[in-house]
């Protein structure tokens, strides 16, 4: 009884806190009264060039471009479990883009997640990360975006379900998950480490995919960069720690640099959404920035060992069936011992995309096959055949279970039902 009562009090207390937060954060913010930035400043070629690089690192085009359409002109949407959120036009078109925005309004959006009319923006726009971007960098990005040719293209309509369609509800969400503030360097760490942390946490917004999202779509602070399912896309973005039990356990700095620069590394290849990120963003980073990112990721702490889930079916029998399929279809490229061929075919042994908690990456890669991205450093990648036509759900589950449990891998087996589910997943 007392336990139930204390639970009730706890619920009331949280509700009150959320209400206060809703009222407090819900006041319309006044656009900060910074000194206006002159047009001459925004036309400075050096500033625009700097902005072009930063915009590439931030991969703004990744969301703000519809398939096959003009870059940065929006017209695309970010799919979330709560509905589709349009990515608007950020070219300088007056009517549909940033043409009538000043820098203060841009800064307000990036730094505080607030629109031009004081309205809260939906966090599909990753201001949870971009708030860490410095004012100087934001100015350069704004100058670059203003230098683009204007494209007239209205955004898609907001397609959120009730109650998520009520913007004021974002007050509670912001109180739970959003901490406004530019990245503060850690003076005990090297400049290289700080640069890496700034890129990973801020511009690169890595945490927006590489962390689990809870029922409200937030990423709890203690789970940052520990890996998570990407909502609606059905891919798993692995944990980024290189230490014990980390998703990148055993990755050297050079492996991280290689993957981001070429799409390939001795430890694994980029595919799915990460292939897009490498192709449009990270391959264009300077070596200094890539090494900074690697340096920072290598400092992420070891992770707890995942508790083994009891398996309610005979996983070993499934994996035995899988071995036959593996030897027939996979071993020619990935090797009997699962070590792959460096620079050609990724290893499966110790590969975080094979052993990630859900199995979705291995299942979908077997079904879809595909190429690693073409990059400047690796323009003619090898590819994997799609097996969706050749293998049925039971065969795919068997071979995926085999590679998840083979060699030194200790991940859970997957079931035919899991395969069936991901056969239906749309590509985007």
Partner 1 sequence: MLFVLAALSGMSSSAADTPSIPDTLPQRIAACTTCHGVHGEGTPGSGFFPRLAGKPAAYLARQMQDFQNGLRKYAPMEYTMRQLSPAYMREIADYFAAQQVPYARSPAPVVSEAVLQRGALLVTQGDASRGVPACMSCHGKELTGVEPSTPGLVGLPYDYLSSQLGSWRTHTRGTVAPDCMATIAKRLDPSDITAVASWLAHHDVPPDTHAQPAGSVTPSMRCGVLGATGEGA
**Which residues here bind partner 1, judged by CB under 8 A?**
67-68, 263, 275-276, 278-279, 331-337, 339, 341, 344-345, 368-374, 379-386, 388-390, 426-427
To the nearest 10 degrees (0 to 180), the angle between helices 253-262 and 272-280 is: 80
Answer yes or no: are the C-beta atoms of 225 and 300 closer than 8 Å: yes
What's the CA gap between 165 and 167, in Å, rounded? Answer: 6
| Nearer Cβ to partner 1 (75/247) | 75
Instruction: Report the residue number, 336 or 410, with the smaller CB distance to partner 1.
Output: 336
Question: Which of 133, 391 has the CB closer to partner 1?
Answer: 391
In the bound complex, what is the minimum distance in angstroms from residue 278's beta carbon to partner 1?
8
Minimal distance, residue 397 CB to partner 1, in Å:
20
Shortest distance, position 382 Cβ to partner 1, whole Å: 5
- The distance of closest approach from Cβ of residue 371 to partner 1 in the complex, given in angstroms and rounded to an integer, is 6
Q: Which is nearer to partner 1, 20 or 377 (CB)?
A: 377
Of 270 and 319, which CB lies nearer to partner 1 in the complex structure? 270
- Give whichever of 308 and 427 is closer to partner 1, judged by the CB atom: 427
CB of 62 to partner 1, least distance (A): 12
Between the alpha carbon of residue 334 and those of residues 319, 351, 352, 399, the distances in Å are 17, 12, 15, 13
Question: Which two tokens mark 344?
Answer: 């050609």
| Residue with smaller CB distance to partner 1, 139 or 259 | 259
State in angstroms the smallest separation of the CB of 260 from partner 1.
14
Nearer to partner 1, 159 or 388 (CB): 388
Query: How many CB atoms within 10 Å of residue 389?
Result: 7
Q: Shortest Cβ distance from residue 75 to partner 1 (Å)?
A: 12
Q: How far is the CB of 341 from partner 1 (least distance, A)?
A: 5
Residue 12 vs 341, nearer CB to partner 1:
341
To the nearest whole angstrom, how small is the minimum distance from the Cβ of residue 321 to partner 1?
A: 22
């Amino acid at each position: 009884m007392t336990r139930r009562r204390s639970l009730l009090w706890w619920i009331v207390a949280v509700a009150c806190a959320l209400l206060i937060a809703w009222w407090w954060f819900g006041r319309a913010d006044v656009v900060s009264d910074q000194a206006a930035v002159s047009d001459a400043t925004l036309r400075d070629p050096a500033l625009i060039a700097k902005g072009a690089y930063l915009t590439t690192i931030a991969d703004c085009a990744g969301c703000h471009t519809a398939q096959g359409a003009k870059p940065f002109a929006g017209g695309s949407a970010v799919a979330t479990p709560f509905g589709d959120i349009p990515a608007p036009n950020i070219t300088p078109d007056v009517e549909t883009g940033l043409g009538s925005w000043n820098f203060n309004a841009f800064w307000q959006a990036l730094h505080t997640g607030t629109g031009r009319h004081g309205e809260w923006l939906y966090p599909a726009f990753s201001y949870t990360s971009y708030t860490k971007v410095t004012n100087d960098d934001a100015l350069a990005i704004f100058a670059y975006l203003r230098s683009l040719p204007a494209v007239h293209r209205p955004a898609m309509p907001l397609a959120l379900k009730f109650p998520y369609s009520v913007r004021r509800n974002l007050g509670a969400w912001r109180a739970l998950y959003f901490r406004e503030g530019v990245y503060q360097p850690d003076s005990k760490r090297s400049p290289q480490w700080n640069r890496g942390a700034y890129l990973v946490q801020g511009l690169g917004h890595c945490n927006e995919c590489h962390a689990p999202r809870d029922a409200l779509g937030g990423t709890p602070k203690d789970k940052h960069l520990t890996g998570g399912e990407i909502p609606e896309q059905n891919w798993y973005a692995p944990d980024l720690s290189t230490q014990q039990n980390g998703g990148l356990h055993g990755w050297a700095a050079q492996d991280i640099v290689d993957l981001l620069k070429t799409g390939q590394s001795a430890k694994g290849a980029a595919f799915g959404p990460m292939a897009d990120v490498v192709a449009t963003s990270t391959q264009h980073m300077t070596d200094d920035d890539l090494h900074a990112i690697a340096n920072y990721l290598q400092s992420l702490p070891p992770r707890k060992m995942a508790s083994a889930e009891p398996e309610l079916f005979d996983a070993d029998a499934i994996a035995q069936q899988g071995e036959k399929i593996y030897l027939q279809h996979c071993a020619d490229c990935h090797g009997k011992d699962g070590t792959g061929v460096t620079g050609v075919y990724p290893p499966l042994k110790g590969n975080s995309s094979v052993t990630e908690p859900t199995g979705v990456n291995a299942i979908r890669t077997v079904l879809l096959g595909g190429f690693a991205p073409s990059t400047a450093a690796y323009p003619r990648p090898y590819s994997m055949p799609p097996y969706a036509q050749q293998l049925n759900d039971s065969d795919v589950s068997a071979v995926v279970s085999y590679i998840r449990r083979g060699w030194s891998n200790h991940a859970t087996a997957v079931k035919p039902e899991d395969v069936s589910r991901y056969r239906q997943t749309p590509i985007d």
